[in-house]
Amino acid sequence: MEKIIAEASAKFEKVLREQLERVDRIKKDAEFVDYEKLDKIIIGICGGDGIGPIIAGQSERVLRHMLKDLEAEGKVEFRNIDGLTIERRAEVGKAIPDDVLEELKACHVILKGPTTTPRAGDKWPNIESANVAMRKELDLFANVRPVKVIEEGIDWTFFRENTEGAYTLGSKGVVVNDDLSVDFTVTTTEGTERIARLAYEYARKNKKDRVSIITKANVIKTTDGKFLKICQEIGKEYPEITTDDWYIDITTAKLIDKKRRTDFKVFVLPNLYGDIITDEAAEFQGGVGTAGSGNIGKKYAMFEAIHGSAPRMVDEGRGKYADPCSMLRATVMLLSHIGMQDKADRLSDALDECMFTEKKYVITGRDTGCTCEEFADYVMSKL
């Protein structure tokens, strides 16, 4: 037994050293990029797997249409990054091939289609999620997901911590022996402060009067307790904003409570809870196919759909009927992030009209509805 404990302790020590080094790197981080001061904004387009190239391609077409004047003036440059497919990642045995990572780092913002993450029993090797790896490599600490249903009075924005919690060490757990396995969750002061401040700054700039902190601090007392306490302290710096806190289990219930759910405005929460609850929230809007997300860091940002690569659709020949709304919503967030709020608002309004109001063309995922390209044309006709 002593030998087993010593071996497990050595693995845990390695994890602790890595995390302490990461904390030091966070402390040294520079300020956020000021896009207005850049001579040229470089936008990377990364198709990914399955339906990814299809929906990313249509979003690129809409984005180029909206930025054609800036592209002609040399103020915007588009770069296509093709090497993040599951085939290439499996070939090199890495979540992100080295050359692809260099291409990503040469961009200011990235519009990314969904990528395949291997599961047990797949034909692919057990490589890490490309999304998780990208968030780590580019330090994309905030996953931002908006959900809006106008007729239901729902207007939510989720700030999910992206680089800590349960997910950041998902591949670093310790198999102590055949009877015992241990995984880890991590909360740091620096990591929590920056996600909390981003959420409150968003609330202030967008005139949102409530920020809700979501944890399970009554049970996960050390890490969730730390997250809750730090967020509450940051909240005191924003006296015009009401801060409340909820446990994750009751939050999932209250999102379906018509009397209470419209009270929520902005959420800030750890990684695992954010992953679960944003998928639930997206269902109100029409499913994960309608929801986009932003992954925000100080130097880089990546915008994507929140759903998977849907290989079955491609295998069945239905890829051209894939719903591009998730990627188009992500494109709205990209435009807002680089300081083009007027263009972001125009695209958002066009999507609202096409998805909720007029609904001249409807996506069904089959030949009973319009194609991805037809819907993109429909949206562009409203711009």
pLDDT digits (tens, 9 = 90+) for 134-144: 988 999 999 99
pLDDT value, residue 319: 97
pLDDT value, residue 29: 80
pLDDT value, residue 122: 85
pLDDT value, residue 112: 97
With cut-offs at 50, 70 and 90, classify the pLDDT of residue 21.
very high
pLDDT digits (tens, 9 = 90+) for 288-326: 767 789 999 999 999 998 888 999 999 999 999 999 999
pLDDT value, residue 170: 74
Dist. CA 362–CA 255, nearest whole Å: 27
With cut-offs at 50, 70 and 90, classify the pLDDT of residue 286.
confident
Dist. CA 18–CA 74, nearest whole Å: 41
Would 292 be classed as within a structural domain?
no
pLDDT value, residue 190: 94
Q: What percent of the chain has pLDDT over 70?
A: 100
Kind plus residue range of the DSSP H or E element containing 242: strand 242-247
pLDDT digits (tens, 9 = 90+) for 67-108: 999 999 999 999 999 999 999 999 999 999 999 999 999 999
pLDDT value, residue 290: 75
With cut-offs at 50, 70 and 90, classify the pLDDT of residue 196.
very high
Q: Which range has highest mean pLDDT (15-29, 61-75, 124-138, 345-359)?
A: 61-75
Would 225 be classed as within a structural domain?
no
With cut-offs at 50, 70 and 90, classify the pLDDT of residue 378.
very high
Dist. CA 325–CA 350, nearest whole Å: 11
Q: Assess whether pLDDT exceeds 80 at residue 287.
A: no
Would 345 be classed as within a structural domain?
yes
Residue 101 in tokens: 């990572």
- The pTM assigned to this predicted structure is 0.85
Identify the CATH number of the domain in which residue 114 sits: 3.40.718.10
Average pLDDT over residues 361-371: 95
Dist. CA 97–CA 189, nearest whole Å: 31
Q: What ranges in the chain are assigned the alpha helix state H?
A: 2-27, 52-66, 68-72, 86-92, 98-105, 130-137, 189-205, 223-235, 248-254, 271-285, 311-315, 325-337, 341-352, 372-381
Would 369 be classed as within a structural domain?
yes
Match 């269902």 to its residue by tokens.
283
Dist. CA 248–CA 270, nearest whole Å: 10
Would 223 be classed as within a structural domain?
no
Would 96 be classed as within a structural domain?
yes
Dist. CA 60–CA 43, nearest whole Å: 10
Would 99 be classed as within a structural domain?
yes
CA quadruple 241, 245, 250, 251: dihedral positive or negative? positive
Average pLDDT over residues 143-150: 90
Domain residues for the domain of 371 are: 32-140+297-383
Would 156 be classed as within a structural domain?
no
- Burial letters 138-174, b for 16+ CB under 10 A, else e: bbbbbbbbbbbbeeeebbbbbbbbbbbbbbbbbeeeb
| Cα–Cα distance list, 19 to 95, 128, 188 (Å) | 20, 18, 9
User: How high is the mean pLDDT of the chain?
Assistant: 93
- Can you give the three-state secondary structure of 3-54, one letter per residue? HHHHHHHHHHHHHHHHHHHHHHHHHCCCCCCCHHHCCCEEEEEECCCCCHHH
pLDDT value, residue 292: 86
Dist. CA 343–CA 322, nearest whole Å: 24
Average pLDDT over residues 151-166: 92
Average pLDDT over residues 172-199: 93
User: Which amino acid is it at 216?
Assistant: K
pLDDT value, residue 250: 97
pLDDT value, residue 173: 86
pLDDT value, residue 119: 83
Per the structure, how many domains does the chain have? 1
Match 């905030």 to its residue by tokens.
142
With cut-offs at 50, 70 and 90, classify the pLDDT of residue 197.
very high
Q: 189, exposed or middle or buried, with CB in 10 Å at 0-12, 13-18, 19+? A: middle
pLDDT value, residue 31: 82
| Least trusted range by pLDDT, from 3-17, 47-61, 160-174, 289-303 | 160-174
